[in-house]
A = this chain, B = another copy of it.
């Protein structure tokens, strides 16, 4: 099985879906001839033609609007937002329209749109190329939200997202595009080659939406993470020598609550880790759910390890990023109670 980077895996998912389904079209800023600023759509226009993969004007809201219309027609548009930080102009069409069509039309109209957007920090992108904005969308009923952490999942989840008949917001941790990242910027960058989850079938397969993955078994504490933070959590567990169970949520909504609850009931302790700002982040929902469902099993408060409630500052990237030390510290606090 070939080793693929996350970029290649995502590219492969779109390539396959373009080939399988003539209703799939892909557009976004620079995705056509150039293949996207992160090269995720590289070669797709050349192979499938510019009627299927094309550049869009710089208007995230316009792209989403047009995608809603296309979806109502019967197409399956896949829209790339160049950075998650630039999704705000599209919020109205996403929240008021894509997410509500089916409900408000009594089930007559819907928009099977996939919105892809690179998210997260770790590349010195400064405050407008580093944001993690998932919590804005998990609050919206009618949207599904997905964040993969590795090439295998990325491809399988993206295929599921494109095939899904509901709108899906698909965030891609850009720091993982070319290799896993354990949160140690001082160490040399590691490629995906050799990583178990970089073995990606060339053909069609899917990873279901709404199912978490247990990425590390453990008995002492449960760590809930997604995207880049899965790797950071693994490093934190290893480095602190903790018997932590780590769950990669993969899909935030619908959430795999059963897997979470089973784990926390077992360990009695829970740490939630994400890059986004803390207040009102998805970690708040996770903490709320865990205490709702596992209260009598919890031996300590659920700990949140997150980005700070500040913009992502360019030169202070690593003071902002919730790296392995901070996660380990969170684990320690969860263990001590």
Of the candidates A280, A281, A282, A311, the one having the most CB atoms from chain B within 10 angstroms of its own CB is A280
A interface residues, tally (CB under 8 Å): 46
How many identical chains are in the complex? 2
The answer to whether the Cβ of A309 comes within 8 Å of any Cβ in the partner chain is yes
Complex Cα distance, B279 from A141, in Å, reads: 8
Q: Interface majority SS on A: helix, strand, loop or mixed?
A: helix
Complex Cα distance, B25 from A44, in Å, reads: 52
Assess A279 versus B139: contact at CB under 8 Å? Given A91-B88, A284-B284: yes
The answer to whether the Cβ of A288 comes within 8 Å of any Cβ in the partner chain is yes
The answer to whether the Cβ of A207 comes within 8 Å of any Cβ in the partner chain is no
* Least distance between A254 CB and chain B CB atoms (Å): 10
Give the residue name and chain of the B residue nearest to A276 (CB).
Answer: B139
The answer to whether the Cβ of A258 comes within 8 Å of any Cβ in the partner chain is no
Task: Please report which residues of chain A, range 191-222, place their CB below 8 angstroms from some CB of chain B when the two chains form the complex.
Answer: none
Mark A135-146 against chain B: 1 for CB-CB distance below 8 A, else 0: 110111110000
* Least distance between A98 CB and chain B CB atoms (Å): 12
The answer to whether the Cβ of A259 comes within 8 Å of any Cβ in the partner chain is no
Contact B291 A301 (CB under 8 A): yes
Task: Please report which residues of chain A, range 26-56, place their CB below 8 angstroms from some CB of chain B when the two chains form the complex.
Answer: none
Mark A273-291 against chain B: 1 for CB-CB distance below 8 A, else 0: 0001101111111011001
Contact B292 A301 (CB under 8 A): yes
10 closest A-B pairs by beta carbon, nearest first, are A139-B280, A287-B288, A88-B92, A295-B301, A284-B284, A284-B288, A284-B285, A141-B309, A291-B291, A138-B280
Q: A96-B128, A100-B311, A284-B284 are in contact. List 20 more A-B contacts (CB 8 A).
A: A85-B96, A88-B91, A89-B92, A91-B91, A91-B92, A103-B310, A135-B139, A136-B139, A138-B279, A139-B276, A139-B281, A141-B311, A280-B280, A280-B284, A280-B285, A284-B285, A287-B287, A288-B302, A291-B291, A292-B304
